[in-house]
Chain A
Amino acid sequence: MAPERRAPRVLALVVPALPLQRILRTRPSAGPLGVVSEGVVHHANAPALAAGVRPGDSLVQARAACAAMSAEPLDPAADRSALRALAEALMGLAPAVELAPPDALFLDAAGARLAGSDAEASERTLAERVLGICRHMGYQGRVAVADGKAVSLALARHAGRERTRVAPGEGALSLSSLPLEALDLPAEVARWLSAVGIDRVGALAALPAETLAHRFGAAGSAAGRLARGEDSRPLVPFAPETFPHERWDLDGSDVGVLSSTEPLLFAVKRLADRVAARLAGRGLGASRLRLTLFLDPRGEERVDLPLARPGAEAALWLVPLRERLGGLRLPAPVRGLDLAVVEAAEVHAEQLAVGDRPEVARALDVALSRLSARLGDGSIFAAESADRHRPESAYRAGPFRRASADRCAMPGEEAPPSGRPTRLVDPPRPVVALGEGGRLTSLRVEGKARSVLAISGPERLAGEWWSEPFDRDYYRARLEGLGELWIYRDGRDGRLWIHGFFD
């Protein structure tokens, strides 16, 4: 006989009236407002409730109670996006997050025990962190930690408290006083139970299992198990398919259309905080962002922002964003914003080397972001040696990473060739040489003939016959009034070129 699977410890997060909360995130000081679908009010904000509007009222009834009530359409697609965004932000807290639309999420709370030996304290900490992220994303939520998805969800919805925790094995007891609707039973089962006077979960749990199975089959058996707190269903993890983006339609919100940089930055900051939270939850860091400004009445302006290092810290994004927005000349006010992650990479918590200070690391990140935003990605780099004989190809530009800056040169790494100038001119400059008796006596450099005081060489560098062949004899020449130059005679045509200065 297969062993009975135990119910997993699950944290359920419910966002009450999610459609209304989503709208009020951008309109916190709105007047009476109702979320309406097919002529029926589904949710109403505090001013509307105070005026006598009730969920379930027809729009006509609601307007009769409150003529000033604005009706916002229910938008299930937007609500699903909002729920996914919240799930992304929470992914860093638990091994698995499951969507439970229209307004709930499940988190695997079993991992909370690994954070410390005291399971109760760990689960309470998890609940605090979930509510904190929820608030950061602009929502008020309720959480419950219990055995199984059904129990935790029922308690989160109906316990009447912001936080609920039920010890292992006490799910049935915690459910017993809740109304039947807490179990979200099939309609036929719920109607029959109501008809026979069963209106509490505890009463349903007391019914013999055979009675429910006989009357309703599998649905009845399942209802009985839920009432007894038996729910061993595993979580189905949510896997986001796209990079996060957040949008804010300013027109109609408390902010209204924007024309100047500072208020625009304030609005961008709000989006950046949410996008960063979602990335952090997924263990990702943005390496390129795109900010789209929707202009009033039409048109858009796009700002692409490469970042020096992948990261999920909104404060660091705002530094280069401020640089770019400050230089923009907008032809019209901005009526909406969209901030999207275009490129991202996994980021791992970096171990600071001994002696590192977080404030230095942060200052470096800010400086790199500013330089990258203003001068372009390709303008800042760390050089890496390349195994090429052609001098101008003997190095390549690589990313400058703080973490790799802690790396010391490994034993066995090839030593650079000696006798190279500190400055290389690109392209090489032609030079006219004067000689006597086969000896180079002077060079005409920068319009002036200069005597050759000393010369050493040649060092022959040649190769790359398969692509761009080169054949050069290099010399170090010290010139009067100038110093040491690196010159070469091209083996293909005998011409002399200045390639560098020993400065």
Chain B
Amino acid sequence: MGTATRQQEVLEELRRQIHRIERRPARREGYLASGRPEVDALLPDGGFPRGALSALSGGPASGKTGVALSALREAQAGGALAAYVDGRGELYPPAALALGVDLARLLIVRPERGPPRGARDRDRDRDRGARDGALPGLWAAEVLLASGAFAAVAIDVPLHDLPAARAEAMLRRLRAAAEKGGAAALLLAAPGGPAIPAALRLDLDGARLRPALRAVGGEEDDRGA
């Protein structure tokens, strides 16, 4: 009798798991090529990990956006969707098109000026001093990553404008959302910002004639150079 009851419990649990799986998009596994051989050569396993957060760190003209766009182009292979959270409002889509990104399958999220609609008063108090694009952009990135509908999401928000502790907490949520949804999350970060809980960090320096690339792998926080 006990064995039959136990079997029934196991069956029920399996049914629940199957139901959960069937209701969610399948997770992606593996790595996403950057689309640039010189970058892939530096990355462990030859690409950005799917289902994880990677950081592309560099100054305003370091080349990190170009690397992210090339990776989004690779992600779109096979008809998948990609997204770019443009918290600074600076992405120039014609350049993305020139790099081979399919604009019809690239969702661009560019939060409008002003605090997020529907924010409760206490959130508004905590956000005092935060730039318009940071929190809404991070929230949008979390929604996109957790959905599982996108193969890759690039995130460019002004992290410097948030208190460090708040930014780090939001970034941990992004990491969790990437793990849940299976997308490759690519955070574009300026040097010296908050600690980023990235599985991989790529430092770019476009100041010299030949870009200097440095890839750092690891799970724990690693402040930008």
Given known pairs A366-B147, A381-B108, A381-B110, the reply for A501 and B61 (CB within 8 Å) is yes
Are B92's CB and A423's CB within 8 A? Answer: yes
User: Residues of A contacting B60 with CB < 8 Å?
Assistant: 423, 482-483, 501, 503
Q: Does B174 contact A (CB under 8 A)?
A: no
Given known pairs A375-B109, A384-B103, A426-B89, the reply for A360 and B79 (CB within 8 Å) is no
Contact of B139 among A374, A394, A454, A478 (CB under 8 A): A374
Q: Does B117 contact A (CB under 8 A)?
A: yes
User: Residues of B contacting A366 with CB < 8 Å?
Assistant: 147
Given known pairs A363-B148, A416-B94, the reply for A503 and B66 (CB within 8 Å) is yes
Shortest CB distance B170–A (Å): 15
Q: Does A405 contact B (CB under 8 A)?
A: yes
Shortest CB distance A424–B (Å): 4
Contact with B along A393-434 (1 / 0, CB 8 A): 011010010001111110000011110111111100000000
Those of B99-135 within 8 Å (CB) of chain A = 99, 102-112, 116-121
| Chain B residue, CB-CB nearest to A386 | B94
A376 to B140, CA, bound (A): 12
A326 to B121, CA, bound (A): 12
Q: Does A364 contact B (CB under 8 A)?
A: yes
Q: Does B55 contact A (CB under 8 A)?
A: no
Given known pairs A327-B117, A482-B60, the reply for A375 and B112 (CB within 8 Å) is yes
Stretch in A112-120, A276-284, A351-359 with 4+ CB within 8 Å of B = A351-359
Are B95's CB and A375's CB within 8 A? Answer: no
Are B103's CB and A422's CB within 8 A? Answer: no
Contact with B along A458-498 (1 / 0, CB 8 A): 00000000000000000000111111110000000000000
A400 to B83, CA, bound (A): 11
A203 to B127, CA, bound (A): 83
Are B120's CB and A405's CB within 8 A? Answer: no
Are B90's CB and A478's CB within 8 A? Answer: no
Stretch in B1-9, B22-30, B40-48, B194-202 with 4+ CB within 8 Å of A = B22-30
Given known pairs A483-B59, A501-B61, A503-B60, the reply for A425 and B90 (CB within 8 Å) is yes
Given known pairs A375-B116, A422-B69, the reply for A502 and B106 (CB within 8 Å) is no
Q: Does B37 contact A (CB under 8 A)?
A: no
| Chain A residue, CB-CB nearest to B25 | A360
Q: Does A324 contact B (CB under 8 A)?
A: yes
User: Residues of B contacting A360 with CB < 8 Å?
Assistant: 25, 148-149
Are A383's CB and B106's CB within 8 A? Answer: yes
User: Residues of A contacting B118 with CB < 8 Å?
Assistant: 323-324, 326-328, 373-374
Are A382's CB and B62's CB within 8 A? Answer: no
Are A483's CB and B109's CB within 8 A? Answer: no
A425 to B91, CA, bound (A): 9
User: Residues of A contacting B112 with CB < 8 Å?
Assistant: 375-376, 378-379
Shortest CB distance A288–B (Å): 15
Are B109's CB and A379's CB within 8 A? Answer: yes
Q: 21 A-B pairs, CB-CB below 8 angstroms? A: A324-B118, A355-B79, A357-B26, A360-B25, A364-B149, A366-B147, A374-B117, A375-B117, A382-B104, A383-B106, A391-B94, A404-B104, A422-B69, A424-B91, A424-B92, A480-B207, A481-B207, A483-B59, A484-B61, A484-B206, A500-B92
A-B contacts besides A408-B102, A416-B98, A503-B62, 9 pairs, CB < 8 Å: A357-B25, A367-B144, A375-B111, A375-B112, A375-B136, A379-B109, A379-B140, A383-B108, A422-B99
Give the top 10 A-B pairs by smallest Cβ distance, nearest first. Answer: A483-B61, A327-B118, A383-B93, A483-B206, A364-B149, A503-B65, A367-B147, A424-B92, A422-B65, A423-B90
Which positions in B face A, CB cutoff 8 Å?
22-26, 58-66, 69, 78-79, 81, 88-99, 102-112, 116-121, 136, 139-140, 143-144, 147-149, 206-207, 209
